[in-house]
Amino acid sequence: MLVPVDCVLEAAQLLGTRALTEAAEILKSDEMVGMLQSGETLVERVGEVRERKLRELIRLRRGLPGLTRAAHGLEAPFCVKSRRAMW
């Protein structure tokens, strides 16, 4: 998540020194660090799986050049009214 620095600064000023210090201590805790690392790992794995599935789909399509997109279940959705592909 990208957050502009000016928003962070304004939020920090609104919190005040005590609340900001408490928030910083929570963020530095081992539990929080572990949660952030787990979240990062999950995001990385999701990206890897998505990339792998895309590569498999590309490989399948290249390996069967005589078949149409529809034969692979890859046909474009079409507009019922005009009967034209929406892609």
Asked if residue 15 is part of any domain, the answer here is yes
Asked if residue 9 is part of any domain, the answer here is yes
Report the pLDDT value the prediction gives residue 49, as an integer from 0 to 100.
93
Asked if residue 81 is part of any domain, the answer here is no
Asked if residue 73 is part of any domain, the answer here is no
Which tokens go with 72? 């692979």
Successive 10-residue mean pLDDT values, the chain, 87 residues: 82 87 86 84 90 91 65 54 51
Question: From start to end of the chain, where are the E strands?
Answer: 78-79, 84-85
Closest by CA position to 64, among listed 49, 50, 56, 53 = 56
Report the pLDDT value the prediction gives residue 63, as an integer from 0 to 100.
79
Report the pLDDT value the prediction gives residue 9, as an integer from 0 to 100.
86
How many domains are there within the chain? 1
Domain hosting residue 12, numbered range:
1-63
